[in-house]
Amino acid sequence: MAHRQYDIVLFGATGFAGELTARYLARHAPRDTRWALAGRNPGKLAAVRHELAAIDPALADLDLITVDASDGRALREIAANTKVVITTVGPYIWHGEPLVAACAAEGTDYVDLTGEPEFVDTMFLKHHDAAVASGARIVHACGFDSIPHDLGAYFTVLQLPERVPLTVAGYVEVDAAFSGGTAHSAITALSRGRANIAAAKARRRAEGSVTTRSVHAGPGRPHREPGTGGWALPMPTVDPQIVGRSARALERYGPDFRYTHHVSLPKLPMAAGLVGAVGAMAVLAQIPPARRAVLKRVPQGSGPSADKRARSWFKVTFVGEGGGRKVITRVSGGDPGYDETAKMLAESALCLAFDELPPTAGQVTTATAMGDALLDRLQKADLTFEVLQA
């Protein structure tokens, strides 16, 4: 890819998460990185570039690319001239496929922030084979969904014996607010339950048995947490699916690997309230007028203030067992949905663009595509991976 014009192109740079990602790149990308901003509004792109120039005056001349997310021909031309494409343009099920198709066709690495299982499965069905043929690495879920969980499970596995059955349980704790874009993606996913199930079934049929090893990953069961007395509830997000795909691809997870995923809450009333809130939102998402009314209240492009983000935090605790050993590990950081997500997304792109990585292609996970190299990057960027008990 040495002949390509850009190392990185960032799509959606004028959105909330996109602008934070652009700021992170402005502060942390190597000075000789060849990168550009892409979006459909040239005026907004220029305004973002002006803000970046205040961080680094050399960015006053940063290239701007005006393109619509649905323009397949233009997207393919950009992909052909770029090593790695970042996109924050969601909901991805409505806006994401043309860019995935362009990258898969042109052998261009791709990272996004999606937490939408239907989109991930559909892109596998439609574009995995083309990406394998071209050498493109299509890496979804490179933010809070699902790097702390995918790399956290991988980090936990590395602390356990090799070639033995392993079990890992993840417990997520978060104190944060979420943006309009995240709300739109979540409500869209909730409104498409049947489509999610159909895409997952079609993927299982297409993949068949991808390994002779046994891998099971999914939401856990409700239970009291020993030691804390808190409550763990099943967390049916895309994260356990990502962890399971990493486990199927990497022999280090052992001959029999089992993962369960939970949200951790300190008190029963909080657990009951969360269940009620999610249930109510799922019902509203099925009713078009109610869904539109909810989405109107949280316009895309909005998000929590810098002060709120500065007070936000997350931690994911993992309990791993196997070969007669038990370990407890933790991944933790600041604002999960935006500041840390921008860091994770940008470092994923920089990792694909510049680091020595194992040979992979097609739709792959962060642990499969980048593993140790991305772990090292994120630790140097002050995301904490630690062993609490060994």
CATH number at residue 120: 3.40.50.720
Q: Model confidence at 192, in pLDDT bands (50, 70, 90)?
A: confident
213 and 314 together in one domain: yes
Angle at 287 between CA 296 and CA 190, to 5 degrees: 80
**Are residues 73 and 119 both part of a single domain?**
yes
Q: From residue 285, give the alpha-carbon distance in Å to each of 187, 271, 282, 288, 291.
A: 6, 21, 5, 7, 5
**Is there a single domain that holds both residue 72 and residue 152?**
no
pLDDT in tens, 127-142: 999 999 999 999 999 9
The C-alpha angle with vertex 333 and arms to 121 and 244, in degrees rounded to 5, equals 30
Nearest residue to 86 (alpha-carbon basis) of 62, 60, 126, 114: 114
Structure-block tokens of residue 19:
């602008």
Number of compact structural domains in the chain: 2
For residue 129, tell me if it sits in a domain: yes
| Apex 119 CA angle, 114 and 120, nearest 5 | 75
Q: Indicate whether 133 and 106 sit together in one domain.
A: yes
The reply to whether 247 and 317 lie within a common domain is: yes
Would residue 287 count as lying in a domain?
yes
pLDDT tens sequence across 45-91 = 999 999 999 999 999 999 999 999 999 999 999 999 999 999 999 88
Helices (H) and strands (E) in the chain, counts: 16, 15
Any domain includes 294? yes
Q: Which domain holds residue 260?
A: 147-335+382-389
Q: Are residues 282 and 366 both part of a single domain?
A: no
Q: Where are the alpha helices (DSSP H) in 326-370?
A: 339-354, 366-369
Q: Which residue has the higher pLDDT, 90 or 372?
A: 372
Within a 10 A sphere around the Cβ of 158, how many other Cβ atoms? Answer: 17
Instruction: Say whether both 324 and 345 belong to one domain.
Output: no
Q: Kindly state whether residues 236 and 362 are assigned to the same domain.
A: no
Whether 221 and 135 map to the same domain: the answer is: no
Residues 229 and 294 in one domain: yes
3-state secondary structure at position 224? strand
Counting every residue, how long is the chain? 390
**Residue 18 included in any domain:** yes
- Does one domain contain both 213 and 315? yes
Inter-CA distances, 343 with 29, 71, 333, Å: 11, 28, 11
Mean pLDDT rounded to a whole number for the chain: 91
The C-alpha atoms of residue 377 and residue 375 are separated, in whole angstroms, by: 5
Residue 257 lies in a domain: yes
What are the b/e assignments for 20-57, b being 16+ CB within 10 Å?
bbbbbbbeebeeeeebbbbbbeeebbeebbeebeeeee
Residue 162 sits in the same domain as residue 135:
no
CB atoms within 10 A of CB 358: 12
**Which tokens go with 143?**
């933010």
Higher per-residue confidence, 75 vs 223? 75
Q: Looking at the domain assignment, is residue 228 inside a domain?
A: yes
Residue bearing tokens 């394998």: 132
On whether residue 69 sits in a domain, the answer given is yes
Q: Which CATH number goes with the domain that contains 192?
A: 3.30.360
Instruction: Provide, rounded to the nearest whole percent, the portion of the chain with pLDDT above 70.
Output: 91
pLDDT of 280? 63
Domain membership flag for residue 1: no
